Amino acid sequence: MDFNISTLLPVMPEIFLLTATCVILVIDLFLSQQSRMFTYGLALGTLLATIAVVAFVGNGESQVLLHGAYIRDPMGDLLKVALLTVAFFSFVYSRRYLEQRDIFKGEFYVLAMLALLGMMVMISAGGFLSLYLGLELLALSLYALVAFDRKSEKGSEAAMKYFVLGAIASGMLLYGISMIYGGTGMLDFAGVAKAVASGQTDKMVLLFGLVFVVIGIAFKFGAVPFHMWAPDVYDGAPVAVVAFLGSVPKIAAFAMAIRILVEGLGGLGLGWQGWEGMLIILAVLSLAVGNIVAIAQTNIKRMLAYSTIAHVGFIFLGILAGEGAGHTAAMFYTITYALTAVGGFGLLTILSRKGVEAENLHDLKGLNEKDPWLAGMMLLFMFSMAGVPPLVGFFAKLFILDALVKAGMTWLAIVAVAFSVIGAFYYLRVVKVIYFDKPISQVPVTSAVDARLAISVNGLAMLYYGLFPASLLSLCSLAIGG
Amino acid sequence: MSADWPILSAVIWLPILGGLLVLFSGDKAPAISRWLALTVAVLTFLLSIPLWTGFDAGTAAMQFQENHPWIESFKVNYHLGVDGISMPLILLTTFVTILVVIAGWEVIQYKPNQYMAAFLIMEGVMVGVFAALDAMLFYVFWEAMLIPMFIIIGIWGGPNRVYATIKFFLYTFLGSVLMLVALVYLYYQSGSMAILDFHGVKLGMTEQILIFLAFLAAFAVKVPMWPVHTWLPDAHVEAPTGGSVILAAIMLKIGGYGFLRFSLPITPDASHSLDWLIITMSLVAVVYIGFVALVQQDMKKLIAYSSIAHMGFVTLGFFIVFIIFSRPEVHSGAVLGVQGGMVQMVSHGFISAAMFLCVGVLYDRMHSRQIADYGGVVNTMPWFAAFMVFFAMANAGLPGTSGFVGEFMVILASFRADFWFAFLAATTLIIGAAYTLWMVKRVVFGDIANDKVAALQDINGREALVLGSLVIAVLALGIWPGPLIEVMDASITNLVKHIAVSKL
């Protein structure tokens, strides 16, 4: 096969992002602390430019290159755009927070962009190897980001925990991959799918490998019972990092689940005997533990961590509901959840002042009195997470329920709505402290213009996609159907 | 018939957008917020009047329809329209909202812009509930009501407001998500989200029962029916006056409306086989809750319980239909029962609003709702006393007021079903008179109880305007209910015909 540079065109977004990241790293070396804003601007510009490149190389077809290691398809394109958009918001929210803590350094953005690169590789992975590569790039960057505030003991502790548990999970995933490789002799998803479908392979080995792979996926999502890292990491990491870590990687995890479970091991779904049964258990446990334990939290970062776990349950239900409607619903859910989560954490980032992390429920007391606009935005985020119309979170849940009923799993739909009612309580409590309680300190809320603008766009997006969900839904539907 | 211009959309979105405008007017200039809110409320009411004047009472078909695709892949449409059942309720909503805005004029000093905005947004959303002909659109409006109400009770409510508002939210939320599952199920049975298509879909008995129970969970909580009524007294007591008025006058009606629009026509056989359940629950509400009201020490709580008892009449009127069906010799009574329920809903909208406004007037002056803190109010507030006695009489069902018409029609229909139902229902005329008049006696009449009462000022022009307009409404409906019944007649006759046919 002769090499032609134009065959690399579909990989342009990744190549561009990597190049830009390296350039920013070098430029940042020569900047004084006063001109750090330049790095920030470059980083934001890079994200926007990468979105443009994704849009430029994207088309309705799917392309497989690099011997099956890389896939460019409409689903990947849409997920990448979502990924970069959500990351853009988190970058904007973090600026002032980092400045106030004297950690406004170029490395933050470089690390985050490397993590983004890893996630884009995961999204476009055509085989286990490239997926694992992307996953590790993501994980290593995140470990460093969690410990980004070097003076913070809690941050270091959280990074250590995350690292140890993450390494174990990666090991499990790799072990599972090796079993599947041993069973099928293939590493690319298409090849694995063909080998599984042929029935020539030893099912026992495959199922054995599958269990470990599912554990790896569940860990990345933070699904119960592999969720224990999430509350500690969210709690320990600087809230600006949590805004990134708690939102963007969910999109990549969704891609990973679809690529491995559906495109690779779709033949091993098999109801209760295959990964479908495992996902049902993971989903129901996540919904139950996430929603119930969240009620007991007074630290809002921990609370949102458990809430994430509960939302992951919903995403799993969407994947379970099957091709077409189910996957579309899960994708819609993932994207809108990431957008909601980045807003929720972003608001906490904005409210944090020098020396004070806004991380406990009582830090939000009386926000409506101090800053009604920000309070209104938080109201939108919380009701969206609770799934109350006309906010987008409602439609995300509705599409999942709808797909479940259509797939004949009405009982799962009823379990899911029952837990959403329980879940509504703790979101309401956040609204309650914001609106009904008196502020405990009189320090006024100050926010930078860029962050304020971003949070407004982010919050109003909840309302916009709640009133007009059809646009995003049809995009997801096209991406999945393509 | 479709309108030349989207009148229903205008009535829904004008108050919502106007509410946002009021919200952005800020809390620095309360006068601007108030006048802006009043302008929006009055404009909305004026806009809704053509719904009445242009209404064709001769047909049961939906009128003023608007239909646009909303979420095409789910066949969800932005489909609006009204018939004789929903149109009067929309006018009730737009009318009562004006009163609420005026009633909160000087009383609300804390963030008046948010207060007014919440009520205006609420108004638009409630009109949306009544006008929606698409199940998903209905559900979106139905749930969206919770957000402003949650805020209203939580911010401007009484001391125990947080408990009350969270209880209110979770109760109604739990009821409605079950309805959501039922709606999604119906979507797959009928292949459409249009409520009118749901009416025609064939369903087996087990399906019907499950769907009926899911709807019951949503509507019974909203009405509220005994035994899921316990959120209402809490919410009412803690809510600000305007919140209580909207709750009692409109939100409770949405539960009753749900029975007519969903439960009865979609699951007629399940409604028939479970009618004993609803009738029992209604009669318990009428009799038992009436006695509970009798012992209340708190005026708002008393009126809240009286609301539950009066709403018992509504559900009774709707469900005795099936018993009348089984006695073919008295067939005409079926329409009478449903009509009575509807009249009762509208009339209760006026009377309960008036009663809560009366308590609000007293509360604004004395900051107490305890009956024991009052006595002899008539000596210092003669005008107010006249209003309060009038509304108390209406609440007790005095002939000539609207309270009498609905109750009388339901009792009359009950007689055709079963003597004992009618007998139990008629006890309300005694119990209702007892708790209402006894409260009035203790609060209004007698000697001046204490110095605070002695210092009371009589109602001002603003309060007189609000109460006076309600007097007119109550009397008009009481003396001449003809136009209202006429408007509803075709739709209700059609509904009764529809539910008489088994779907099995």
Closest-approach residue (CA) in chain A for B114? A372
Chain B environment of A424 (Cβ under 8 Å): 169-170, 173
Q: Is A160 a residue whose pLDDT tops 50?
A: yes
Residue B78: beta bridge partners? B68
A421 touches chain B (CB under 8 A): yes
Cβ-defined contact of A410 to B154 (cutoff 8 Å): no
Owning domain of residue A288: 7-480
Band of the pLDDT at B330, cuts 50, 70, 90?
low
Q: Domain for residue A131, yes or no? A: yes
pLDDT at B327: 75
Band of the pLDDT at B2, cuts 50, 70, 90?
very low
Contact B322, B452 (CB under 8 A): no
Lookup: tokens for A371? 């800053």
Closest residue by Cα to residue A307 from A164, A422, A471: A422
Integer-rounded Cα radius of gyration of chain A: 21
Chain A environment of B170 (Cβ under 8 Å): 421, 424-425, 428
Chain B environment of A417 (Cβ under 8 Å): 177-178, 180-181
A401–chain B nearest CA distance, Å: 8
The fraction of chain A above a pLDDT of 90, given in percent, is 42
pLDDT at A3: 66
pLDDT digits (tens, 9 = 90+) for B184-198: 888 888 888 888 888
Lookup: tokens for A316? 């799993």
Q: Domain for residue A2, yes or no? A: no
Between CA B51 and CA B48 the distance in angstroms is: 5
Closest residue by Cα to residue A401 from A298, A279, A313, A291: A313
Q: Domain for residue A476, yes or no? A: yes
What angle is formed at CA A68 by the lines to CA A62 and CA A71, rounded to 5 degrees? 30
> Residues A126-134: what's their mean pLDDT?
92
- A113-117, A167-171, A320-324: lowest mean pLDDT where? A320-324
Q: Domain for residue A51, yes or no? A: yes
A158–chain B nearest CA distance, Å: 34
Between CA A183 and CA A198 the distance in angstroms is: 12
pLDDT digits (tens, 9 = 90+) for B239-293: 888 888 888 888 888 988 999 889 888 888 888 888 888 888 888 888 898 899 8
Q: Is B5 a residue whose pLDDT tops 90?
A: no
What angle is formed at CA A191 by the lines to CA A190 and CA A195, rounded to 5 degrees? 120
Q: Domain for residue A473, yes or no? A: yes
Integer-rounded Cα radius of gyration of chain B: 22
Distance of CA B92 to CAs A320, B79, B80, B85, Å?
Answer: 46, 21, 18, 12
The overall average pLDDT reported for chain A is 88
Distance of CA B203 to the CA centre of its chain: 30
Three-state SS string across B265-295, please?
A: HHCHHHHHHCHHHHHHHHHHHHHHHHHHHHC
Calculated CA dihedral for residues B396, B398, B403, B405, nearest 10 degrees? 140
* ipTM computed for the complex: 0.85
Q: Which residues of A197-210 are buried (b: 16+ CB within 10 A; e: fewer)?
A: eeeebebeebbbbb
3-state secondary structure of B79: strand
For an interface test with A, the pick among B184, B186, B207 (most A C-beta atoms closer than 10 Å) comes out as: B184
Contacts of B13 (CB under 8 A, 6+ apart): B124
Contacts of B14 (CB under 8 A, 6+ apart): B40, B43, B44, B47, B124
Distance of CA B118 to CAs A24, B17, B171, B196, B504, Å?
Answer: 48, 11, 21, 31, 45
Lookup: tokens for B427? 């006890």
Contacts of A432 (CB under 8 A, 6+ apart): B154, B162, B165, B166
Chain A environment of B141 (Cβ under 8 Å): 389
pLDDT at A482: 47
Q: Domain for residue A77, yes or no? A: yes
3-state secondary structure of A124: coil
Cβ-defined contact of A406 to B170 (cutoff 8 Å): no
Chain B environment of A418 (Cβ under 8 Å): 177
Q: Which residues of A440-465 are buried (b: 16+ CB within 10 A; e: fewer)?
A: eeeeebebeeebbebbeebbebbeeb
> Residues A203-208: what's their mean pLDDT?
86
Between CA B223 and CA B60 the distance in angstroms is: 25
Q: Is A110 a residue whose pLDDT tops 90?
A: yes
> Residues B393-401: what's their mean pLDDT?
88
Cβ-defined contact of A414 to B181 (cutoff 8 Å): yes
pLDDT digits (tens, 9 = 90+) for A364-378: 888 888 888 899 999
- A278-287, A409-418, B24-33, B40-49: lowest mean pLDDT where? B24-33
Q: How many domains does chain A have?
A: 1
> Residues A84-112: what's their mean pLDDT?
90
Band of the pLDDT at A1, cuts 50, 70, 90?
low
Lookup: tokens for A203? 């099912």
Between CA A426 and CA A419 the distance in angstroms is: 12
> Residues B471-491: what's their mean pLDDT?
88
Closest-approach residue (CA) in chain A for B155? A436
Q: Domain for residue A154, yes or no? A: yes
Q: Is B349 a residue whose pLDDT tops 80?
A: yes
The fraction of chain B above a pLDDT of 90, given in percent, is 8
CB atoms within 10 A of CB A99: 16
CB atoms within 10 A of CB B160: 12
Q: Domain for residue A1, yes or no? A: no
Contact A123, A79 (CB under 8 A): yes
> Residues A100-118: what's their mean pLDDT?
90
A478 touches chain B (CB under 8 A): no
Residues in chain A: 482
